[in-house]
Amino acid sequence: MRVLLIGPNGYLGRFVADRLLADPAVQLTALGRGDDADVRFDLASGSPGALTRFLDAVHPGVVINCAGTTRGGARDLTRHNTVAVATVCEALRRSRCGARLVQIGCAAEYGPSQPGSSTAEDAVPRPGGPYGVSKLAATELVLGSGLDAVVLRVFSPAGPGTPAGSPLGRLAEAMRRAMQTGDGELKLGGLGVQRDFIDVRDVARAVHAASLSAAQGVINIGSGRAVRLRDAAAVLARVAGYGGALHELDGPPPSLRSPLAHSLGHPASGGGAHGLGHPGGAGAHSAGHAALAHTVGHPRHDPDHPTPTAGPPSLPPAAYPYPDGCGSWQQADVRTARDRLGWRPRINLEESLADIWMEAACRI
């Protein structure tokens, strides 16, 4: 099977590439903005005609699009997340290759959801920010293209390679600095937010499964369980061997010995809430006590996920609002992925956090 992977150098793209290369039945061609791609092409500025000619020459059976950006203003987000996908869809329509399209979407397309609920694919999308809007527009372009296509709405990726600017990446970096300086107290903000974290390697498995399946439409990819950032922080502290106190800026200081933090086990296979992430208690998330993140989602700073050069200067971690526009709670209903892809998450959050810490610790 010939597969064209777009965005092979991004956070998700690298793991998808590794997964595909491990399949002896796959002949992989990588298309991206970086020098190490097999073919250099900028979806945001390249023409559909040029991409069509390349598709006709390579003749892939599957096209996987992992490219995009999470940062920038509305113009940049539209160019890299929406116009780029329009280029892919138009090129595939014109091409004689008849390839299947696997598009990587994101949970920010849904926007805020009711605490305690699981978001299924038939939920009405109400994105809470320009990033989610740009990704939702891309999804609608794919669904309306008439192509053999599926959109995987990935919730909050975690694990090795987690961007340093993501919530979990910033938690790990703050803990690394505290341990390096011998600081026995760590003050963090935004830890009441609950998100559905899914290991990036499980996401790559889902992409591989989608490329082999006949499933169409939208499919959620998540763990099926919401986890509070404060509980993830406590587990990260335990994994790292950090013995100091974690104090929350926007709520009561959580205990490092929280029984919830020790119950992080294998991911749930259904759509309901299990273990961590009980509804209620998170409250509205204020910008003044924001999460430790610039970004949520799959891309990070690399050629396939460009970051605009212009923008505000860097601020302390607690000054950033949680970026995905999804409010205090998100949890995926993952039954469709189980039923249509034969996919279930395998890697629990504690293992993902251990890998995040291992990379952070190497910077000490």
DSSP 27: E
Q: What gap in Å lies between CA 15 and CA 11, rounded to an integer?
A: 7
**Per-residue pLDDT, 272:** 37
**105 bridge partner residues:** 153
Query: Which token pair is 252?
Result: 């009561």
**Per-residue pLDDT, 36:** 83
Q: What is the per-residue pLDDT across 264-285, written as a single tens digit (0 to 9) for each? A: 544 444 433 333 323 333 333 3
- Check pLDDT > 80 for residue 323: no
**Helix or strand or coil: residue 217?**
strand
One-character DSSP codes across 317-337: GGGSPPTTS-TTB--B--HHH
Helix 229-240 / helix 167-181 crossing angle, nearest 10 deg = 40
Radius of gyration of the chain (CA): 20
Backbone angles phi, psi at 99, to 5 degrees: -70, 150
**Per-residue pLDDT, 287:** 32
Of all residues in the chain, what percent are helix, strand and coil, respectively (each to 5)? 35, 15, 50
Q: What gap in Å lies between CA 94 and CA 104, rounded to an integer?
A: 21
- Check pLDDT > 80 for residue 47: yes
Pairing of strands 194-195, 227-228: antiparallel
Mean pLDDT of the chain: 84
- Check pLDDT > 60 for residue 296: no
**Per-residue pLDDT, 198:** 98
Q: What is the per-residue pLDDT across 170-194, written as a single tens digit (0 to 9) for each? A: 999 999 999 999 999 998 888 999 9
Mean pLDDT to the nearest integer, 307-330: 55
Of 153, 148, 173, whose CA–CA distance to 60 is shortest? 148
Residue 241 binned pLDDT confidence (cut-offs 50, 70, 90): very high
**Per-residue pLDDT, 122:** 98
**Per-residue pLDDT, 165:** 86
Of 222, 218, 194, whose CA–CA distance to 344 is shortest? 222
Asked whether the beta carbons of 88 and 43 are under 8 A apart, the reply is yes
Exposed/middle/buried for 280, CB within 10 Å: 0-12, 13-18, 19+? Answer: exposed
Exposed/middle/buried for 23, CB within 10 Å: 0-12, 13-18, 19+? Answer: middle
Q: What gap in Å lies between CA 292 and CA 245, rounded to an integer?
A: 17
Asked whether the beta carbons of 71 and 324 are under 8 A apart, the reply is no
Instruction: Identify the residue whose tokens are 């006949």.
Output: 214
**Helix or strand or coil: residue 98?**
coil
**Per-residue pLDDT, 40:** 93
Higher pLDDT, 22 or 304: 22
Q: What is the per-residue pLDDT across 140-170, written as a single tens digit (0 to 9) for each? A: 999 999 999 999 999 999 999 999 888 899 9
One-character DSSP codes across 336-364: HHHHHH-----S-HHHHHHHHHHHHHTT-
- Check pLDDT > 90 for residue 101: yes
Q: What gap in Å lies between CA 79 and CA 99, rounded to an integer?
A: 23
Asked whether the beta carbons of 165 and 320 are under 8 A apart, the reply is no
Exposed/middle/buried for 364, CB within 10 Å: 0-12, 13-18, 19+? Answer: exposed
**Per-residue pLDDT, 300:** 37
- Check pLDDT > 80 for residue 333: yes
**Per-residue pLDDT, 268:** 45
